Chain A
């Protein structure tokens, strides 16, 4: 079980946890992954939109939700994450100018369709110029993106890629948060990596977090 816990690594927290577990808690093996993380969480997932004035159609079933795009800075982004507390959240950072993002987007939609009822919430964050919101929305509708769709809009002296910690400033980029709202996995271009991330890597990590 210890092995499975560190194999999930990729984040500092896991490393620290494992290091501490081994250094401090040699006698208490077995306690790590047996800890029912879910029990420490709010039992129910809030479903109402905190920004409901911005969405006209508030159907609970994601399929029927009207597809919209909302301008987001770090604060709005956090509100969206908070709204999904209790769920695993997958965020797909993309842009119309990013060809691999366009190619990967259907996989993100599929993730929502396949794992939405298992506790996955999908969020998309476009880094297109807010002036292109119309084109972004058209793309989202065409792809059936029935989830929270954001378009980055930050103060003039700020950079979306910095505000949202997109390592290396390269798209595509993904982040996965666990049910407690903690950032657990970041998928970024890494010139040092033996291989770059794939859609299956994302799915694997999402499934791991769903199972927690």
Chain B
């Protein structure tokens, strides 16, 4: 009897800690925090049919990682901004990598290729059907962005900017963060709450 109570105590405490101390690492991110070493992806296929890894960007002063997809209207609304950012920052040593982990029909690799071509993406667009890389970054929605500094630590994460309607944007969080890093400073705003379409995570086997 005592043993069963002890078991129940253990269960109770487990429930308590697993739900209460749900361990938000960042303010809004359950998995990673500012300053953490960025999870590295290896050999993810891109729309160019090549394999891509984080270490390919070893010379970059900063790497911007954006979890995105084809179908989400919010992600689509940002594509032009991503392209504009690349144009502006590629000569400053900033690389941009977009990663899709959604396996719904509209987001699969063949559709990614079509989207990248139609929209003339000027950045890597990679596919991780295992969804592992997004889980490692604690990505929740598309778009969800991260800025990695020269040491490949997470220096900023969250929104690209503060409004999905470009004409209403007031705060360019990601751009400001990158500017700070390029100027040798820590970003003033290191984390914002990303907003967008839920990432369709599949059941983990």
Q: Is B141 in contact with A16, judged by CB distance below 8 angstroms?
A: no
Q: Which residues of A contact B31 (CB under 8 A)?
A: 191-192
Q: Are B9 and A170 in contact (CB under 8 A)?
A: no
Give per-residue flags for A170-201: 1 if the beta carbon is below 8 A from chain B beta carbons, else 0. 11110000000000000011111111100000
From 24 to 70 in chain A, residues with beta carbon under 8 angstroms from any chain B beta carbon are 26
Report Cα–Cα, A19/B165, bound state, in Å.
47
Interface residue? B74 (CB, 8 A): yes
Number of chain A interface residues as a range = 35 or more
Q: Indicate which residue in A9, A22, A97, A189 contacts B140 across the interface (CB closer than 8 Å).
A: A189
A9 & B197 in contact (Cβ 8 Å cutoff): no
Size bracket of the B interface: 35 or more
CB nearest neighbor in B for A27: B5
Closest residue on chain A to residue B23 by CB atoms: A192
Q: Type the 1/0 row for A139-182, where 1 means its CB is closer than 8 Å to any CB of B.
A: 00000000000000000000101100011111111000000000
Complex CA gap A159/B18 in Å reads: 28
* Complex CA distance for A167 and B138, rounded to whole angstroms: 12
In the bound complex, how far is the Cα of B164 from the Cα of A153, in angstroms?
16
Chain B nearest Cβ from A126, distance in angstroms: 14
- Are the CB atoms of B198 and A100 closer together than 8 Å? yes
Given A129-B165, A196-B201, A22:B30 Cβ within 8 A: no
A189 and B193 contact, Cβ closer than 8 Å, known pairs A16-B20, A22-B8 = no
| A21 contacts chain B at the CB level, 8 A cutoff | yes
**Which residue of chain B lies nearest to A2 when distances are taken between CB atoms in the complex?**
B8
Q: Taking the nearest CB of chain A, how far is it from the CB of B100, in angstroms? A: 15
Contacts across chains A and B counted by CB atoms under 8 Å = 131
Q: Is A116 an interface residue (CB 8 A)?
A: no
Asked, given contacts A15-B19, A16-B16, A170-B141, whether A100 binds B8 with beta carbons under 8 Å apart, the answer is no
Q: State whether A191 touches B11 (Cβ < 8 A).
A: no
The chain B residue sitting closest to A171, CB to CB, is: B198
Q: Are B19 and A97 interface neighbours, CB within 8 A?
A: no
B134 contacts partner chain A, Cβ-Cβ < 8 Å: yes
Contacts of B5 in A (CB 8 A): 22, 26
Residues of B within 8 A of A196 (CB): 198, 200-201
Complex CA distance for A194 and B30, rounded to whole angstroms: 14
Contact between chains at A18 and B15 (CB < 8 Å): yes
A1 to chain B, nearest CB (A): 12
Closest A residue, CB atoms, query B76: A97
Which A-B residue pairs are the 4 nearest by beta carbons?
A168-B140, A15-B16, A170-B141, A19-B12
Interchain residue pairs with CB less than 8 A apart (10): A6-B15, A11-B19, A12-B19, A15-B15, A16-B16, A97-B77, A97-B197, A170-B141, A173-B198, A195-B204
